[in-house]
Structure 1
Amino acid sequence: MATEVYHRLREQMDQYSTGFPASESGVELKILEKLYTEEDAEIYLDLSMLLEAPDAFAARTGRSPEAMVEKLEDMAKRGLLFRHTKNGTRRYSAIPFVIGSYEFQLGRMDKELAELTNAYMEEAFLSGMGNNVPPLRTIPVGKSVDITNKVAAYEDAKAIIHAKDKIAVANCICRTQRGLLEKGCDKPKEVCLLFGSHADYYVENKIARYIDQEEACAILDKCEAAGLVNQPANMVNPGGMCNCCGDCCGVLRALNMLPNPGELVHNRYWAVVDPEECTACETCLDRCQMNAIEIGDAAVVDHARCIGCGLCVTTCPVDAIRLEEKPKVLQVPPPASGQELMAITAERRGTSLVPLKMQEK
């Protein structure tokens, strides 16, 4: 049976991002026990999501500065904290489960952890994401949008790439995890892009490699050809960009459980079919990750399910599908920053970004 500190750790992690809800089986506590020692858990409970240097954290919590330099770095190396390095100075913060410690287990994911996280996703985590602000934002494949439409930079994957000075690429944690369970797919794996301090974190932890803008754009082209959905972090200036499949991606799997995923993602576009041009060839069925298309005499798109990725558009052999702007009332611009995203999500979930221990003082 898990000790009390792991229950407190779960409760704290449930405050952040998409949460970390309790399950009936308690499998989430087994995940925490595998990842965190009791000392790790106590330290996490004293941290916040604001970056803090080891000496400042030690002074605030009455711990040894020398010990905290070593301990916080050790936890960051194990994917339990975020590390930000600037001018040789390292600062650390608590992280959510998603996007956070789950993704950061890329270099440590083994079959046992894959089984535990898969069980937890299916029992409790995925079903709870429908009430949240999605941590990722679907944007359309560039070639799927008519060039006469003015596209904001945050809706253009290659524009995001060209705005980044520091880029790294890592394997997809979702396909890595599902592959260990022989439940994965054969889609490309080294396709997750990280930017700025997130790129540094992944490379410092030896789970990614730096690349240039040209290679990053080539990866986007490969992902489009493979039918992967482009999903940067849900903010104007994202720290990362995923390329996802409905078989493995936790976000897409959660959306697929809903009757109206297209309404939740708040994207700008949805697919529209010209029934006069459509030959009902079914090519688009294989490309759609949301089961949003049915074929009769012609393809029909369920707009409640369409997330506007554009994958069906780029392979239609007769150009019968296009992306069309949704009504303005259905369009919701992304938050300006990760901090704003966290604040909006916490408000919607009725949680707080202030650590529970700090609220008690």
Structure 2
Amino acid sequence: MDKKILDEASKISRRGFVTAGALGALGLAGCAPSESEGNLASTGEDAAAEPAAGEKTAWNGVADEVTRDITVKVPGKPTPDGNYYVTFNGGPLTAAEQHAQISSYDWRKNELSASQIAVDAQTVTDEEAEAILMNEPEITQDYVTSDGRTIPAVYIALRNRLLRVGQGVGCEVHDNTWDFLMQEFTEDEAAFYLKLPNFAYFTDTEAAEAEGMTVEEAGGICEELSYRGLLNRVTRQGTKYYHVLAFAHGMLEFMMDRYEEDGFVESVFGLCGADYGYQSRNQGSPMYFPIPANQEIVGDTEILPNHDWNEIIDRYDTLCVAPCQCRTFTPIRAGEGQKPGEWCDHPMETCVATGEQAQYYIENGIGRQVSKEECREILQRGVDAGMVIEVMCTAECDVICQCHGDCCAILRGFIALDGDVENLHYMSQYELQVDYDQCIKCGSCAARCPLFTIEMADDGPQIGNMCVRCGQCATVCPVGARKLFALPEEERFTMPKDMVDDYHMKALERAKRGYINDFDPAKL
């Protein structure tokens, strides 16, 4: 094993374990490559040294318990015919060079681990990444699918736009890739959407200037699209502002009232390529991050900003609650013949929106307004039910979710991949520490863990590699042997201001990693 590869990859691994490039999760992505395709090399070396014999210090961190059997994919390994793979995130080219040269790729030939991709991405500047985001190709040629359907060029261009926003939609395409867009947008609306500013709030006046329309015409279309869940809408000091949406968090959540329409869920998820799951779980920042279940389990004197759900509730006058999207669409996607909520015994009404986001939910009829008191009761109910309290990765804390490993798409994805994804390491600003001197080995923590990652052994509870530092295990520890401690400031992930900033931050990182590859029928 090349020691340099391990050293570089470990630079971004705060817990001491290197993530391998996991391809696909929870039905959001395709199958993983075979071992011969992936050119895997492995080592049995431990990345963290074992404590000396008999040594058991108090407050051992998670890293001491989970680092085993590292697997790293070898970058730049030649193919059998002697050529190097030139894929969307592998081979000898930088992400910017690949974007300029590649018209198609096979993501299953990815030869780099997620960690190595992140290391390589550091060589791409913000300016180069911004150029990739803003260099949307002009699509002039329609596409004919294998079953003979014609996809107008404007829908191909629109999907290329969505590829650039937030977590994107994945680069891989298939015959049904554009069904959702053709179902939800007329061709004129799709053309309108493509002219709207990206990563920015805009008014009807600014939309009119971009479209060459009257303010009334442009404003009417913006209103129509926003009430259909295709644009976001906020009102500030009497003026309406809009912004383009990502697939998630965005269109998927804002159209939840239509999940039970025949074929709707199939069509909306059909928008995603097979590599969407891989990309969205290896992008350097989470979409949501867990916060402590309560203040009492935090070992520091003060809880971090944006990590106290009671403080977040106090901050906003407008709050609403909506059904859990995951527990609504999962049985529909699985075809289990069950209604949402029948297959999971956790509460259904769990997604809390705040401030401007709450106002949008209420106006669009996808959430009901609640008082601060009821909101606290809803979140406390989730804590009592053993759920992970997660907040959208923004300083404005637009949405607070309540998730569990048996029903949440994000957490189930981590479980399906056995925690082998980079985002897991950016999931929390805290680390879980265990005082083994106090632990009485009662097993309460293992029974409570919503990720099912704590197992009881003769020497006490062992934490697996899927700990998201939610603190649920600490809420039931009878002796207080488990606490959450804040990471040093330099180890915490960047917190964007709001959803638009988060879209841009994620898109820049994805551009640096070579995740943005446009589809153009003219280049086939």
After superposition, residues 1-361 of structure 1 pair within 5 angstroms as 1=149, 2-48=151-197, 49-110=199-260, 111-117=262-268, 123-132=274-283, 133-143=285-295, 145-146=297-298, 149-181=301-333, 182=336, 185-256=344-415, 257=417, 258-259=419-420, 262-272=424-434, 274=436, 277-281=439-443, 283-297=444-458, 298-302=460-464, 304-317=465-478, 319-326=480-487, 330-332=491-493, 334-350=495-511
CA shift digits 1:252-304 (9 cap, x unpaired): 234333425541324222252637634353x43453333432222221113x4
Unaligned runs of 5+ in 2: 1-148, 519-524
Give structure 1 stretches of 5+ with no counterpart: 357-361
Secondary structure in 1 matching 2:306: helix
- Greater alpha carbon shift after TM alignment, 223-232 vs 244-253: 244-253
Deviation for aligned residue 1:57: 1.4
Deviates more, 1:52-61 or 1:127-136: 52-61
* Cα shift at 1:218: 0.9
One-letter amino acid matched to 1:72: C
Question: For the Cα contact (< 8 Å) 1:275–1:299, is it kept in 2?
Answer: no
Give 1:164 shift: 1.4
Write the letter of the residue equivalent to 2:461. Answer: A
Structure 1 residues 287 and 330: alpha-carbon distance in aligned structure 2, compared to 1, 3 A threshold? farther
Structure whose CA Rg is larger: 2
Give the letter aligned to residue 315 of structure 1: V
Structure 2 SS opposite 1:191? strand
Contact 1:271 1:301 survives alignment (8 Å): no
What letter matches 1:314 in structure 2?
T
Change (3 A) 1:113 1:273: farther
Q: What is the Cα deviation at residue 28 of structure 1? A: 3.6
1:140 is matched by which residue type in structure 2? P
Per-residue deviation, residues 58-96 of structure 1 (Å, max 9, x unmatched):
233112433333222111111000111234432322111
In 2, Cα distance between the equivalents of 1:139 and 1:338? 18
Conserved 8 A contact 1:267-1:331: yes
Taking structure 1 as the reference length, what is the TM-score of the superposition? 0.86
Which whole-Å CA distance do the structure 2 matches of 1:326 and 1:146 have between them? 12
Using a 3 Å threshold, how does the CA distance of structure 1 residues 71 and 138 change in structure 2: closer, same or farther? same
**Size of the alignment, in residue pairs?**
351
> What secondary structure does 1:97 align onto?
coil
Once the 2 structures are TM-superposed, how far is the Cα of residue 321 of structure 1 from its aligned partner?
Answer: 3.2
Higher helix share: 1
Offset of residue 27 of structure 1: 4.0
Classify 1:64/1:329 alpha carbon distance in 2 versus 1 (closer, same or farther; 3 Å).
closer
Across the aligned residues of Structure 1 and Structure 2, the Cα RMSD in angstroms comes to 2.8
Shift of 1:203: 0.7
Measure the CA separation in 2 of the matches of 1:122 and 1:7: 13
Question: In the alignment, residue 86 of structure 1 is paired with which amino acid?
Answer: R
Query: RCO higher in 1 or 2 (8 Å CA, sep ≥ 6)?
Result: 2
Identity of matched residues, %? 27
